[in-house]
Chains A and B, each alone.
Chain A
Amino acid sequence: MRKVYSKIETIAGNVISVKATDVQYGELARVSTAYGDTLAEVIKLDGELVSMQVFAGGRGISTGDEVRFLGNPMRVSFSDSLQGRIFDGSGKPRDNGPELTDNLITIGGPSVNPAKRIIPRNMIRTGIPMIDLFNTLVESQKLPIFSVSGEPYNQLLSRIAMQAEVDLIILGGMGLKYDDYLFFKEELENGGAMSRTIMFVHTASDPVVESLMVPDISLAVAEKFALQGKKVLVLLTDMTNFADAMKEIAITQEQVPSNRGYPGDLYSQLASRYEKAVDFEGSGSITILGVTTMPGDDVTHPVPDNTGYITEGQYYLKNGRIEPFGSLSRLKQQVNDKTRDDHRAIMDGMIKLYAAYKSSLEKKSMGFNMSAWDEKLLKYGSQFEKGMMDLSVNIPLEKALDLGWEIMASCFEKDETGLKTDLINRYWPKGK
């Protein structure tokens, strides 16, 4: 029989402490308050003093409330009946379905042995030229969408989720606006994808500690499905909220902050989540697509900055378009030599020309005369933005490549493109 502790020593923010013995680091406890039971996780042991973060928050907890240690870390039920279900950050059902308690698995498990990883090799087609052509998404990749708040990042996320060829979608929502939660639910239901979706959603009005659990729960479940051979796509939105929740707890615990109040281990904490993306040899895979909102469009803010160092590229969403500058898929080289032999050349060549267009545009805005070359670039730039960058464009990769040649041929002479001569001879549209 487990002991009940009925004297809470300190309550600071969402962290409480009791004097107790035989408690494990990382163990769960149940706290019975006047407002109902809540879970709490042990985050520090100091002699007899045990500190815990309370999932439902510290508000309303009385020093006389009972604390019961459960003897196990945070776990989540895992079975096929998860599919189509919606839960909150502590694993309780958010739809009206039954609570699941069988086959519990521990969350936040060890990382995959690098020697057991394989080189990613499958492209995930999305029908968006800025992704497929310029920054190809690859199975087992971890990729965030960097975005300013107000951009349609959740729309982009749901569109990729619907079009991507995967077996299972797991949506982890942190600090999601209620409308956005409903938007995802409706989109996935209308698109007929809800039956292969599991949602772990923490909304903005839920207790902040619960949002800390969302990535771990989502990824633990994803890992189990992947080991059963499923291709899993995990969507995490928004990781900045997750980092902010971490900051809140760290400050409450009086940790020395490193950069703008974030804890010194922000990088390691984010990495241990993103690194769960993996392709298991002979089995399934996990691909992670996250959203990182950038406060003030500042890519050097600690959250996007640390994220960029961890993830395999990023999609930079700005003014409703995926910007070619700042966007990058680090794994594209693994797959874009197997698509069509002009893929890489078009990818690099068009971006170089687009960069030149940008500087011509700058010159123009400063009132300088436009040379003939500048005029060509201006024409090219507007065609590029219309044909390739517009998010409503939905064409397969091969069509996008052909379109690339068309655009270049309509603006430039052959030797102005900087492409290799033999490619030009083969792909340059006839009659131009």
Chain B
Amino acid sequence: MKSVGKIIGVNGNMVTVQVAGTISMNEVGYILVDDKKLKSEVIRILGDSCQMQVFEMTKGIKVGDEVEFTKELLAVELGPGLLKQVYDGLQNPLPELAEAAGFFLERGIYLKALDRDVLWDFTPIANVGDTVAKADKLGTVPEGPFTHEIMVPFNLLKNYKVKEIKPAGQYKVDDVVARLEDEKGNTIDVKMYFEWPVKRAIDCYSERLKPTKPMVTKVRLVDTFLPVALGGTYCIPGPFGAGKTVLQQVTSKNAEVDIVIIAACGERAGEVVETLKEFPELIDPKTGNSLMERTVIICNTSSMPVASREASVYTAVTIAEYYRQMGLNILLLADSTSRWAQAMREMSGRLEEIPGEEAFPAYLESVIAGFYERAGIVKLKDGREGSVTIGGTVSPAGGNFEEPVTQATLKVVGAFHGLSRERSDARKYPAIDPMDSWSKYPSVLNIDAVQYARKILFRGSEIEAMMKVVGEEGTALEDYVIYLKSDFLDAVYLQQNSFDPVDAAVIVERQRHVFSHIVDIMGAEFSFDSKNEARTFFNGLRQAFIDFNGVEWQSTEFFSKEKVLVDTLNKKKVSLDSFAAELLKAGV
């Protein structure tokens, strides 16, 4: 028996409801306004009344309006057809919504997340009589470049016998493809899709592994110096305009993973549109198909209702976990987790909870930790591995990393890519601060070589700071050259032009190749007569290296530019320090 209720109060996007019957926490209910139903979620129960957050605009709601409860928690549909989709935070497909409602997001229109009319080529795997449990494969359908597995729904907790399975053929997601029987003899119909509550992590694997394999982003600074591992987590805090979103867009295009899920959470609509229009045109070098084929976009932009913004990151991570069950590597990019935290703050304020720091709720940290902990590389029951990597941007108020969301995030992530206003003002992109940022994952290159370069970077920045006090003339030539080296490393390796077709994405092989030149230059001893001469030399060298960075990998031009570079270097190079020589011998 489903419960019903009546509105007794409205405050912003929160309503108070007098309930007749039983309800559960986080249950979904619909408010009946005029001829529309507005989706809401129970967030607090007080005796026979409850408070609900409304996923829509609340204008026009009256005291006395009816509420219908559903007995279900907020859930998403999981099945073939999720890829290429653009959903809002509640898994409404936005293009279909546009067809139904036009330019604007009219409230109270909910569409099926998975297209009910598409036919999928089903091939059975399980046989009649097999014993199966949750997440076991029943069959497969091809979905774009992937083999999408039709699994026993994750909410079936016992062991079942396959009583009936459909032969190979074309079916719709709504068709029953298998019939299971439990120990008591109840039969359960299994369709090609099922629903799963978004706030519960999917844990149908045998063990969680330690993330050690690199997730290649083709951003030099990240892969070489601040790597991310498959199944790892990282965050990108930064003030506005420092390039958080551009960095994520570049990553979503170039990352070497199977599927990318983009959760545009409370950010600008325009940025989503860029991805939306651009991805179908771009080719995924791995599969030769359009990038959209490996992408799901969950888009709840800043002017869309706040409550579904909170739901959107969960929707995204649930879909990621679902595909992980198929042995795939998934990258979830959440932009921005601060907007999600703010949505929590707004709700907490309306609930009149005692505020924590900066009015964020006291449970902020545990909720953030709970979200990032849903990342991970796992061994599935059949021995395959799958991973969900989560990268979240953080938009700290005033660009100050001391604020609660950044600090709560830093506690739980494995890599920190902090963007600095200083670097972005100087147009040094990506504006990740190489000094403050850190990563706990292994680099794609030889760690000794990376440390060697990093040391020079540190030393150079120390000298630069010192020079600001004692002046250039008070600095020894030797130190000045170290400063020039570190500045050079920054200009030609850490900085990367994301708008240059070649420089935008650098494969690991090329990073390794280029880095050997870097080590060669970092370890070179020069004979300069004056600082002026040294600076002029490094200007020329930088020019040669930037030209070298801009040409296609291993083209004829590549080798000719490389020769120019080496010749320029050798004009002034006297010797190579022994440590660098050894590094080069061992290979970077």
Contacts and interface: CB of A to CB of B under 8 A. Distances in A.
Interface of A: 21-27, 44-48, 73, 108-120, 140, 227, 255-259, 263-265, 267-268, 271-272, 274-276, 280, 299-302, 305-306, 308-310, 312-314, 325-326, 328, 330-331, 333, 344, 348, 351-352, 355, 362-363, 366, 368-369, 371-374, 415-416, 418, 420-421
Contacts of B473: 368-369, 371
Contacts of B345: 258, 264
Residue among A140, A268, A415 with max Cβ neighbours from chain B (10 Å): A268
A306 B339 CA distance: 11
Interface stretch (B4-12, B159-167, B217-225): B4-12
17 contacts: A25-B10, A25-B62, A46-B16, A114-B301, A116-B98, A117-B269, A117-B270, A119-B278, A259-B358, A268-B302, A268-B346, A275-B302, A299-B398, A302-B397, A351-B427, A371-B531, A421-B543
Contacts of B425: 325-326, 355
Nearest to A281: B103
B40 interface: no
Contact of A300 (B97, B397, B546): B397
Contact of A257 (B86, B359, B397, B398): B359
Which 9 A-B pairs rank lowest in CB-CB distance, beginning with the nearest?
A: A300-B398, A271-B302, A368-B471, A275-B303, A26-B59, A308-B240, A258-B359, A115-B94, A111-B303
B359 A259 contact: yes
Contacts of A313: 241
Contacts of A302: 397
Contacts of A418: 491, 539, 542-543, 546
Interface string B333-349: 00010010010011011
Contact of A115 (B59, B98, B240): B98
A118 B98 CA distance: 13
A168 B339 CA distance: 34
A44 B397 CA distance: 29
B339 to A, nearest CB: 7
Nearest to B264: A114
Residue among B103, B301, B468 with max Cβ neighbours from chain A (10 Å): B103
Contacts of A114: 86, 94, 269, 272-273, 276, 299, 301
A112 B103 contact: yes
A371 B103 contact: no
A268 B342 contact: yes
Contacts of B95: 115
B11 A305 contact: no
B532 interface: yes
A133 to B, nearest CB: 14
B369 to A, nearest CB: 22
Contacts of A264: 342, 345-346, 348-349, 359
Given A310-B302, A362-B468, 5 more contacts: A25-B59, A113-B101, A274-B303, A314-B241, A328-B241
A395 B533 CA distance: 39
Contact of B427 (A117, A119, A227, A355): A355
Contacts of A325: 425
A369 B102 CA distance: 66
A369 B302 contact: no
A373 B532 contact: yes
Nearest to A333: B499
A268 B306 contact: yes
